[in-house]
């Protein structure tokens, strides 16, 4: 774990910076959940958050009796060629992981910028 700088984690996954990328002014963020890793810019992470919100707001499974556990929601990822089949519980956890990561990264950049002024 010494090779990473943890940003946020929850029951489903973790987000972090690779310490080897510290010298880069805006390093990419590693997001890992369900045995899948994404290396994303902050902008890509925000787009991924928008995809989560769109999937949550979809009416898919509105008639399903087990919609919380059924992996019938399709979540678009920042990769044009990859979508994930998730259930509602996972989707909410993924969105929480992403949004909390965005918040902490933006706070870190804001504090760093304030210290430079």
Distance from chain centroid for Cα 94: 6
Answer whether 0.85 is exceeded by the pTM. yes
Would you list the domain boundaries of the chain?
Answer: 4-116
Per-residue pLDDT of the chain (117 residues; tens, 9 = 90+): 589 999 999 999 999 999 887 777 788 999 999 999 999 999 999 999 999 999 988 866 556 666 566 777 899 999 999 999 999 899 999 999 999 999 999 999 898 888 776
Neighbours of 45 (CB within 10 A): 21
Do 34 and 90 meet the contact criterion of CB atoms below 8 Å apart? yes
Do 100 and 82 meet the contact criterion of CB atoms below 8 Å apart? no
Q: What percent of the chain has pLDDT over 70?
A: 89
């Amino acid at each position: 774990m010494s090779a990473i700088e943890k940003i946020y984690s929850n029951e489903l996954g973790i987000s972090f910076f690779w310490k080897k990328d510290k010298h880069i002014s805006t390093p990419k963020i590693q997001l890992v959940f369900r045995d899948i890793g994404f290396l994303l810019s902050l902008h890509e992470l925000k787009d991924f958050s928008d995809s989560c919100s769109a999937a949550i707001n979809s009416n898919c499974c509105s008639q399903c009796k087990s919609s919380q556990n059924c992996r019938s929601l399709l979540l678009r990822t920042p990769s044009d060629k990859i979508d994930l089949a998730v259930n509602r519980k996972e989707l909410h956890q993924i969105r929480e992981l992403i949004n909390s990561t965005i918040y902490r990264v933006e706070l870190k950049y804001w504090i760093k910028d304030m210290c430079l002024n």
